[in-house]
Structure 1
Amino acid sequence: MDALVPGGRDVRATLDEPDGGEATACVVACPPHPQHRGHRGDPRLTAVSDELAERGVACLRFDYGDWDEGYGEREDARNAVRWAADRYERVALFGYSFGGAMALLAAASVDREVRAVSTLAPASRLADDLDAAAAMAALDCPAQVVYGTRDDTADPGPVVAAARERGGDVVELSADHFFVGKHGRIATLVADFLAPEL
């Protein structure tokens, strides 16, 4: 189902729901950088969404509004969480690359309860006041970081360190930033972490 996320920006989304029953939990999935063709149809996001549906969890994949240096995009993610929280009993966040930073920044600052956050190859800092590693440290919910040992696109190191410092779930894969051939493995890792929290 396609949806328009309320807020001051044009944010389009796709809601994937499990077959044969109404979900009580939803994961908001934040796509990679919109200026690098990141969108809600990213194969890593759709793989995670498909796996969540198999476990009875809905997934809201959204596209950011017009580029706003990360600030509007963070608000897009927060508005998506609000939309989901108005419809589901429990909400979590997932994000890939730039979206990993957005998931952390939104979870640490949104005015709704977030049960858990999972990030894949998260960017660590977008600006001095858009610091995903600091957001990781400030979370009051369980958090996961999955990253590739050969990632030379994002710099997940500070987020990984912050996750380890707070006792978060850190998974290292032999992969570059794009995880070619590993989307199924990623989907399982993320769903294994998020589903029990929901």
Structure 2
Amino acid sequence: MSRNLPIPGARDVRATLDSADGEHADTETVVVACPPHPQFGGTRRDSRLRAVSDALTERSVDCLRFDYGPFDGGNAEQTDLANAVAWARTEYEAVGVFGYSFGATVALLATARMVDPDRLSVLAPGAELDVAFDPGDVIAGVDCPLQVVYGENDTTVGWEPFVEAARAAGHVVTSLPADHLFAGQTREAADLVASFFETDDL
């Protein structure tokens, strides 16, 4: 079951809330999902976000997929995420955050600076933003359980510094034999992400 809704805030941010049906309809956990680069067609309807949402709702976890407001190079997009998390906090006991590509980098920076999710999972981080940052400092600023999933054959984004820093910090790091689009590996990646949020301590 899905419904569209606006996210409160100064920017025009629209979202889709996917909920588990039937006996799982009263879940107390939601994952806020950040889409890839909007200037390259990234929206909340991205196939990776939809796959993660499907895998989450199968596990009795709701998913809030949102579109960013007007493009701001990754700066105001962090505020969009913060507003989405703030809305989710009014509706759910536990709130996780997931991001793919540009959305992964936005999620990492926002978590290090202004957002406090219970758990964070990122898929293919490393996309460039119009915001200065050091990957090691960003990972060090994440104060919650973190999962990093990346494609070993991904030549689109510079995931290596994020992976190295996350692994050194003892976070969960998993690789797949995939490219940046996770062609042929989308379901496996989605299951990895959803399983990370399917836990009693979320």
Cα drift, residue 118 of structure 1 = 0.5
Would you identify which runs of 4 or more consecutive aligned residues in structure 1 move more than 3 Å? 127-133
Kept in 2: contact 1:25–1:57 (CA 8 A): yes
Matches within 5 A, 1:98-177: 98-110=102-114, 113-123=116-126, 125-127=128-130, 129-177=132-180
TM-score, normalisation: structure 1:
0.94
Task: Classify the secondary structure of the residue corresponding to 2:91.
Answer: coil
CA distance in 1, matches of 2:85, 2:12: 15
CA deviations over 1:60-102 (Å, ceiling 9, x no partner)? 0000110112111111111111111111000011000000011
**Given that residues 24 and 88 in structure 1 are in contact (C-alpha distance below 8 angstroms), is that contact kept between their aligned partners in structure 2?**
yes
Aligned to 1:22: 26
Residues 121-155 of structure 1, C-alpha deviation per residue, up to 9 Å, x if partnerless?
Answer: 01265245344542222111110111111111111
* Closer/same/farther in 2, CA of residues 178 and 141 from structure 1, 3 Å limit: same
Q: Structure 1: how far apart are the matches of 2:104 and 2:187?
A: 18
- TM-score in terms of structure 2 length: 0.93
1:15–1:133 distance in 2 versus 1, CA, 3 Å: farther
Listed as ranges, the gaps of 5+ residues in structure 1 are: none
TM-superposed CA distance for 1:40, in Å, is 0.2
1:87 to 91, 115, 137: 91
**Residue ranges of structure 2 left out of the alignment (5+ in a row):** none
d(CA) in 1 for partners of 2:78, 2:177: 29
**Structure-2 separation of matches of 1:181 and 1:85:** 34
Letter matched to residue 7 of structure 1: G
Moved more, 42-51 or 121-130: 121-130
Answering whether residue 64 of structure 2 is matched by residue 66 of structure 1, we say no
**RMSD over aligned Cα atoms:** 1.4
Which stretch shows the higher mean deviation, 4-13 or 116-125?
A: 116-125
The residue identity in structure 2 corresponding to 1:6 is P
For residue 6 of structure 1, the aligned residue among 5, 8, 28 is: 8
Can you list the C-alpha shifts for 1:34-83, whole angstroms capped at 9, x where unaligned? 00100000011000101110111110000011011211111111111111
CA contact (8 A) 1:31 1:98 kept: yes
Please report how far the alpha carbon of residue 110 of structure 1 lies from its aligned counterpart in structure 2 after TM superposition: 2.7
1:148 & 1:159 partners in 2: Cα distance?
Answer: 13
Structure 1 position 186 matched with structure 2 position 189:
yes
From 38, 44, 50, the counterpart of 2:42? 38
